[in-house]
Amino acid sequence: TQLLEQSPQFLSIQEGENLTVYCNSSSVFSSLQWYRQEPGEGPVLLVTVVTGGEVKKLKRLTFQFGDARKDSSLHITAAQPGDTGLYLCAGAATGGSEKLVFGKGMKLTVNP
Amino acid sequence: DAGVTQSPTHLIKTRGQQVTLRCSPKSGHDTVSWYQQALGQGPQFIFQYYEEEERQRGNFPDRFSGHQFPNYSSELNVNALLLGDSALYLCASTRRGGSYGYTFGSGTRLTVV
Q: Which residues in chain A touch residue B105, judged by CB atoms under 8 angstroms apart?
A: 42
Q: Can you tell me the mean pLDDT for A39-52? A: 92
What are B60-103's pLDDT values in tens digits? 999 999 999 999 999 999 999 999 999 999 999 998 876 667 89
Q: Which of B29, B36, B94, B100 to mutate to test the interface with A (most CBs of A within 10 A)?
A: B100
Average pLDDT over residues A44-63: 94
Chain A interface with B: residues with Cβ < 8 Å? 4, 6, 31, 33, 35, 40-45, 48, 50, 88, 90, 92, 97-105
The pLDDT of residue B106 is above 80: yes
Q: How confident is the model at residue A1 (pLDDT cuts 50, 70, 90)?
A: low
pLDDT of residue B2: 72
- What is the Cα–Cα distance from A18 to B105, expressed in whole angstroms? 30
Q: How many CB pairs under 8 A join A and B?
A: 65
Residue of A nearest to B96 (CA): A98
Q: Which one-letter amino acid corresponds to residue B6?
A: Q
Residue B40 pLDDT greater than 90, yes or no: no
Judged by CB atoms closer than 8 Å, whether chains meet at B56 and A97 is answered as: yes
Q: What are the angstrom distances between the C-alpha of A68 and each of A29, A32, A102, A107?
A: 9, 12, 18, 26
Nearest-5° Cα angle at B46, B42 to B50 = 125
Cβ–Cβ < 8 Å for A40, B10: no
Nearest CB among B42, B56, B102 relative to A104 is that of: B42
Report the residue of A1, A25, A99 to disrupt the B interface, i.e. the one with the largest count of B CBs within 10 Å: A99
| A98 contacts on B by Cβ (under 8 Å) | 31, 33, 48, 56, 94, 96
pLDDT per residue over A18-45, tens digit each? 999 999 999 898 889 999 999 889 999 9
Nearest to B56 among A35, A99, A102 (CB): A99
**Torsion angle (degrees, nearest 10) of CA B14, B20, B24, B30:** 130
pLDDT tops 70 at residue B21? yes
List pLDDT tens digits, range A68-97: 999 999 999 999 999 999 999 999 876 555
Residues A59/A18, Cβ–Cβ less than 8 Å: no
For chain B, the average pLDDT equals 94
d(C-alpha B63, C-alpha B45), whole Å:
15
